[in-house]
Amino acid sequence: MEKYDELLVSLRKIIRSIDLHSKKLNKNSGLTGPQLLVLQSINRTNGITAKAIAENVNLSQGTITSILDRLAAKGAISRVRSETDRRRISVYLTAEGENLLNQSPKPLQDHFIERFQSLEIWEQNQLLASAGKIAAMMDASELDAAPLLEIGAIVEHEQDDTDIS
C-alpha cells in the first residue's frame, strides 16, 4: 500500500469514528454534538447569554440561536428576559436539560483533548503542523470550523442539525 493510501485510510478512520460517536450521542440522548456543547456551556454558567455561549463554543450567534430554539423545544432550556435590561436574555438549564446532559456520553473531543494534552509539547506541535498541512492539501485551510468533532456543518437547518449549508 502506498503511503498516501495509508494516510487516506487513517483519515477515513477518523471520519468514521466521528460519525459513529455522533450517531451514538444522538441515539442515547437525542442531542447533536453542538447541542451538547451548548448545554455544557449553559451548565458551567447558568444564566448565560447567547452571545457568551457563542464565544465559549466558537460558533456564530445565529447558529447558537438556532440551537437554543431546538433545545427550548425539547424543554431543555429556558430563556429569561432581564427585569433591568429588557434587551438581555439569559439562558438556564431546566430539569430536562440537566437529565439530557447527565445521560449524554462525553463528547468525542473531550477524549481527544485528554490524550492530546498527555503528549509531549513537541508531539503536540508536530501533530498540529501535520494536521494543518493536511487541511491545506485538501483545500480546507480557509473553511470555517469550530473545535468540535462532529460530522456535517455547524450551521443548523430546520430539518437537520448537521447539514452543510
Could you tell me the domains of the chain? 3-137 (1.10.10.10)
Q: Which range, of 15-24, 60-69, 88-97, 156-165, averages the lowest pLDDT?
A: 156-165
Residue 6: exposed, middle, or buried by beta-carbon count in 10 A (0-12, 13-18, 19+)?
A: exposed
Note if the pTM is more than 0.85: no
Q: Quick one: cell of 2?
A: 502506498
Residues with Cβ within 8 Å of residue 49, at least 6 apart in sequence: 88, 89, 90, 91
Smallest CA-to-CA distance from 50 within 40, 63, 37 is with 63
What average pLDDT does this structure show over 83-109?
A: 87
Query: Band of the pLDDT at 154, cuts 50, 70, 90?
Result: very low
Which pLDDT score is estimated for 22?
82
CB neighbourhood size of 2 (10 A) = 7
Q: What is the pLDDT of residues 23-48, one digit of tens each?
A: 888 888 888 888 988 999 999 998 99
Position 161 pLDDT exceeds 50: no
Residue with cell 462532529: 150
